[in-house]
DNA sequence: CGCATTTGACCTGCGC
DNA sequence: GCGCAGGTCAAATGCG
């Protein structure tokens, strides 16, 4: 208990440090924006009204870009301003400069995971809002129409755009549908062109107003492959497994949204070349998608999805996550059938689609979904697991540790921890040339990288979210110093407090 | 009887 | 404007 308490304190220190870093960055951003506004005001005073409008237009564009980073469900901090009946995105009046500034300032706080467990986030008992208000707070589209339209038309427009962002998952599954932890009701079936297998349409039935849909279809060439396409974000609390799915798909969808917005502006440097339909980008690197970082002059953010591809056909930007392709171990992949089965719906005794937390061979935390790993070492990317930031879930409520594969992982982890305590972490096999110094430097860079902090926050939120349903979950982390920090159930964290993220799958890129 | 699924009809967007 | 394909609706049907 003493040891656990000490580790708990260390983790608390880490979190406080992260919070301080975040606050510092936020204040820095705020300061920059204030300076910018003062400059603008001076400029406005001496310039024509046309120039003033143009400047403000730019300002609003920045605000839109920030909002577009929102992951799925947003917090009340975003809903709140909308309760007065006006769209904060649509304001074009000069007097709303303050609002824009507030929004810019608060955008970081509003960037959260796809699901909240707080009752305030529910649409069913939302006295001030309603399904419509919830719906419009999903993935915010980057559409420029938001800047000039208001209220009702806004909602329709946003909904239309929301439906266009999709996340497709390919996985081998014998059952009619994968069990992703959510409850679905089939509402239609259609024979799609070019595929003899019918496409089934499902909608989420956890909440009557939930806009999430999914399509399930078998691969025409390989019937064992099930293609599940998710669309939208849940507006209700979800189970642990469903939260993981919602978070990851929302993250991917958000990246698609932000990608499209930035590429429109020519800021998505690696994607200024058009993304061809169904181009398989092994190790897809979403770079420069965060305009938050762009606006605040922070380093670009990179999102990594192994075995993923982006398709823009049918006006539906879709990110496809191929889980049928075996992945190198350093990607942190594990067999789909090896994880916990979240059979929340007895009607779907299907093959379990593992969105649980897990350990790969590097004992690296799998952020809930197989593709959502923060572990990657290829092409200059950094493996958090190998270089010191080791997040390990032990004894969670999911009974993960009961499985042989995890027991084996834990054994490996324990032995590895012992080795680490005795000596500095050895360089990974696939990076034999990396020296201890470079490891330390890279580790420092990672831990100082807000992306890592976001990923950590997302990981913690994923485990600690859902109103304490994961109270038995422990998170072990090997921080930059190489010491093991392990949280205990005694660590009290509210998902709504400071644990915010603009992506749960941020990938820091070490230049 | 209630709920989920099935399935044909209908709607909508897009390309020609 | 027309046809096609994707997507949705809702009455019919099935099941526990």
Per residue of chain A (511 residues), give pLDDT as tens. Answer: 888 888 888 888 888 888 777 777 777 777 777 676 556 555 554 444 444 443 444 443 333 333 333 333 333 333 333 333 333 333 334 334 344 444 434 333 333 333 333 333 333 333 333 333 333 333 333 333 333 333 334 443 444 444 467 888 888 887 778 878 888 989 999 988 888 888 999 988 888 778 888 999 888 888 888 888 888 888 887 877 777 777 777 777 766 666 544 443 333 333 333 333 333 333 333 333 333 333 333 333 344 455 666 665 545 677 888 877 664 444 333 333 333 333 333 333 334 444 333 333 333 333 333 333 333 333 333 333 333 333 333 333 333 333 333 333 444 334 444 444 444 443 333 443 444 454 445 445 444 544 444 444 444 444 443 333 333 333 333 333 333 333 333 333 333 333 333 333 333 333 3
Measured in angstroms, what separates residue A138's CA from nucleotide B4's C1'?
Answer: 28
Q: Quick check: A161 and A333 in contact, CB under 8 A? A: no
Cβ of residue A185 lies below 7 Å from strand B: yes
For residue A182, the surrounding DSSP H or E stretch is: none
Which residue in A9, A72, A111 sits closest to A496, CA to CA?
A111
The pLDDT of residue A321: 80
Domain A163-256+306-324 has CATH 3.90.470.20: no
For strand C, which nucleotides have at least one atom less than 7 Å from a protein CB?
4-10
Q: What is the pLDDT of residue A387?
A: 34
Which nucleotide has the least CA–C1' distance to A205?
Answer: B4
Classified as helix, coil or strand, A506 is: strand
Query: Alpha helix locations (H) across A68-179?
Result: 76-82, 97-110, 131-135, 145-148, 151-162
* φ, ψ (nearest 5 deg) of residue A279: -75, 125
**Nucleotide closest to A195 measured between CA and C1':** C5
Distance A347 CA to C15 C1' (A): 12
Cα distance between residue A289 and residue A272, in whole Å: 12
What is the CA A192 to C1' C5 distance in angstroms?
Answer: 8
| CA quadruple A259, A263, A268, A274: dihedral, nearest 10 | 100
Q: Residue A208, CB, less than 7 Å from strand B?
A: no
A30 touches strand C (CB under 7 A): no
Beta strands in A85-211 (DSSP E): 166-172, 184-191, 198-204
Q: Name the strands in the sheet holding A474-478, side by side, starting at the edge strand that comes first in the sequence.
A: A390-394, A474-478, A484-486
Axis crossing angle, helix A49-67 with helix A240-264, rounded to the nearest 10: 150
Spatial separation of the C-alpha atoms in residues A391 and A418, rounded to whole Å:
16
Query: What's residue A201's pLDDT?
Result: 92
pLDDT for A16? 80
Q: What is the pLDDT of residue A171?
A: 84
Gap from A354 CA to C15 C1', Å: 30
Residue A309 bridge partners (DSSP): A280, A320
Nucleotide nearest A186, CA–C1', reads B5
As a whole number of angstroms, the distance between CA A408 and CA A421 comes to 20
User: What backbone phi and psi angles, to 5 degrees, belong to A73?
Assistant: -65, 140
Three-state DSSP at A58 gives helix
Name the DSSP letter for residue A330: G
pLDDT at A371: 38
Q: What is the pLDDT of residue A42?
A: 52
User: Does the nearest atom of strand B lie within 7 Å of A205's Cβ?
Assistant: yes
Q: Which residues of A351-371 are buried (b: 16+ CB within 10 A; e: fewer)?
A: bbbbbbbbbbebbbbbbbbbb
Does nucleic acid strand B have an atom less than 7 angstroms from the CB of A182? no
CB crowding A312-322: b at 16 or more within 10 Å, else e: beeeebbbbbb
In angstroms, the CA A389 to CA A384 distance is: 5
Residue closest to A509 by CA, chosen among A328, A365, A364, A304: A304
Using the 8-state DSSP alphabet, how is residue A114 labeled?
A: S
Domain boundaries along the sequence of chain A: 1-30, 163-256+306-324
User: What's the token pair of residue A338?
Assistant: 């090896």
- Which nucleotides of strand B come closer than 7 angstroms to any CB of the protein? 4-9, 13-14
Please give the protein residue whose CA is closest to the C1' of the nucleotide C4: A193
Reported in sequence order, the residue ranges of A220-325 that DSSP labels E, i.e. its strands, are: 225-231, 279-281, 284-287, 302-305, 308-311, 318-322
Nearest-angstrom CA–CA distance, A507 and A166: 21
Strand-pair partners of A231: A166, A213
């Amino acid at each position: 208990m003493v040891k656990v308490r000490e580790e708990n304190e260390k983790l608390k220190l880490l979190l406080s440090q992260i919070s301080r870093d975040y606050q510092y960055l936020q204040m820095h951003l705020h300061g920059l924006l204030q300076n910018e506004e003062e400059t603008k005001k001076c400029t406005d005073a001496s310039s024509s009204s046309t120039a003033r409008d143009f400047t403000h237009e730019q300002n609003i564009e920045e605000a839109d870009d920030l909002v577009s980073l929102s992951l799925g469900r947003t917090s009340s901090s975003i809903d709140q301003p909308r309760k007065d009946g006006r769209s904060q995105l649509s304001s074009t009046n000069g007097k709303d400069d303050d609002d824009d500034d507030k929004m810019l300032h608060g955008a970081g706080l509003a960037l959260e995971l796809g699901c909240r467990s707080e009752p305030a986030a529910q649409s069913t008992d939302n006295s001030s809002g309603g399904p419509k208000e919830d719906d419009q707070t999903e993935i915010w589209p980057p559409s420029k129409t938001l800047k000039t339209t208001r209220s009702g038309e806004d909602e329709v427009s946003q909904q239309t755009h929301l439906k266009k962002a999709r996340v497709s998952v390919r996985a081998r599954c014998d059952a009619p549908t994968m069990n992703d932890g959510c409850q679905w009701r089939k509402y239609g079936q259609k024979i799609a062109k070019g595929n003899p297998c019918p496409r089934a349409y499902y909608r989420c039935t956890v909440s009557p107003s939930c806009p999430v849909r999914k399509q399930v279809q078998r691969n025409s060439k390989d019937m064992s492959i099930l293609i599940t396409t998710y669309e939208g974000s849940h507006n209700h609390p979800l189970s642990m497994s469903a939260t993981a799915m919602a978070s990851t798909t929302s993250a991917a969808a958000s990246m698609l949204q932000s990608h499209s917005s930035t590429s429109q502006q020519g800021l998505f440097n690696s994607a200024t070349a058009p993304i061809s339909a169904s181009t398989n980008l092994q190790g897809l690197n979403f770079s420069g998608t965060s305009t938050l970082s762009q606006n605040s002059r922070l380093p670009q953010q990179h999102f990594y999805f192994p075995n993923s591809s982006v398709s823009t056909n049918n006006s539906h930007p879709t990110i496809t996550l191929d889980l049928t392709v075996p992945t190198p171990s350093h990607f942190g992949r594990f067999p789909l059938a090896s994880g916990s089965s979240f059979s929340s719906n007895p009607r779907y005794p299907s093959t379990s689609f593992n969105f649980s937390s897990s350990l790969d061979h590097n004992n690296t935390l799998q952020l809930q979904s197989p593709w959502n790993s923060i572990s990657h070492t290829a092409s200059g990317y950094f493996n958090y697991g190998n270089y010191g930031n080791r997040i390990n879930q032990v004894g969670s409520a999911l009974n993960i540790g009961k499985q042989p594969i995890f027991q084996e992982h834990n054994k490996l982890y324990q032995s590895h921890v012992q080795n680490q305590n005795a000596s500095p972490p050895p360089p990974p096999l696939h990076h034999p040339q990396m020296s201890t110094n470079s490891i330390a430097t890279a580790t420092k860079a990672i831990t100082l990288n807000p992306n890592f902090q976001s990923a950590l926050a997302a990981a913690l939120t994923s485990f600690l979210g859902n109103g304490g349903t994961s109270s038995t979950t422990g998170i072990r982390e090997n921080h930059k110093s190489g010491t093991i920090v392990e949280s205990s159930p005694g660590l009290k964290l509210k998902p709504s407090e400071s644990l915010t993220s603009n992506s749960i799958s941020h990938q820091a890129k070490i230049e």
